[in-house]
Amino acid sequence: MNDDTPLLEAQDIHTYYGASHILHGINLRVKRGETISLMGRNGMGKTTTLRSLVGLTAPRQGKVLVKNEDVTGKAPYRIAKSGIAYVPEDRAIFPTLTVRENLVMAARPGPDGRSDWDLDRVLNLFPRLRERITNMGNQLSGGEQQMLTVGRALMTNPDLILLDEATEGLAPLIRRAIWSVIRKIKEAGIAAIVVDKDIKALMEIADLNLIIVKGMIVYEGSSQDLKSRPDVHQQHLGV
């Protein structure tokens, strides 16, 4: 793949839930190694955007491209095999499998054959999971479950990871640990789209920030630019 080819691109995607038109022409591009934040108030379409990109809620109009291949409407497992990992808001771990089993069942080389992320590396990243390696998923705290979900995604050796509210509802100490891991993911060269309510933390890590309002991207810019635009914060991000 040419380095200039986006890992993932959404072209004018429109997504519906039944008769409800949720996304109205979303366009975005993620380059190799790039971290993008997707910001916006609740109910504006952030989760639907991520679900559309990975095929869980297929767009009715527009295209999703992974490395220039049209994957619109393809099964989520096909899109995942092309190097896209998804960490959903509800975590979706397997409650009756152990920590080890949850991780190992997801293990596979990346699309280019890389196996940089194995069980040992993930457990080094999350020492708490090593301590809980034989515990069942339903015996973990919310923070530990979130660590497990992120670790499971890394076990697929992805080129791009989508993180939906990875710190939502967690204690401050756990939130800091998750943000530290997100920074390490960035340092490892994995691209990411991150959805979170912590605007300050997003701006510290993102190369590009997108703001979505009622299913449309209304702002795109660097963290430096966004920090200098209190009007944008007040209009689109304030509670």
What's residue 91's pLDDT?
78
Identify whether the C-beta of residue 57 lies closer than 8 Å to the C-beta of residue 14. Answer: no
The vertex-58 CA angle with 54 and 59, nearest 5°, equals 115
Asked if residue 3 has pLDDT above 70, the reply is no
**CA dist 190 → 15, 53, 227 (Å):** 27, 17, 25
| Average pLDDT along the chain | 93
Q: Beta-carbon neighbour count of residue 112 at 10 Å?
A: 9
> What local confidence, expressed as pLDDT, does residue 1 receive?
52
- The pLDDT, as a whole number, for residue 89 is 85
pLDDT tier, 169 (very low <50, low <70, confident <90, very high otherwise)? confident
pLDDT at 233: 87
First vs last Cα of the chain: how many Å apart? 42
pTM of this structure = 0.93
Residue 2 has pLDDT above 60, yes or no: no
Strand ranges in 1-107 using DSSP code E only, listed in sequence order: 8-17, 20-30, 35-39, 61-66, 69-70, 84-87
Q: Give the mean pLDDT of 117-128.
A: 95
Share of the chain above pLDDT 90, in %: 84
Alpha-helical runs (H) found in the chain: 46-53, 76-81, 99-104, 119-125, 127-131, 142-154, 172-187, 199-205, 223-227, 230-232
195: which 2 tokens?
């959805």
Q: Is 158 exposed, middle or buried (0-12, 13-18, 19+ CB in 10 A)?
A: buried
Confidence band of 114 (pLDDT split at 50, 70, 90): confident
- pLDDT tens readout for residues 24-81: 999 999 999 999 999 999 999 999 999 999 999 999 999 999 999 999 989 999 999 9
pLDDT of residue 4: 77
Per-residue pLDDT averaged across 156-183, rounded?
93
The reported pLDDT for the residue numbered 95 is: 93
Q: Taking 60 as the threshold, does the pLDDT of residue 239 lie above it?
A: no
Q: Most confidently modeled of 10-24, 107-121, 167-181, 221-235?
A: 10-24
Is the model's pLDDT at 161 over the cut of 80? yes
Query: Strands 69-70 and 61-66, how do they pair?
Result: antiparallel
Per-residue pLDDT, 5: 86
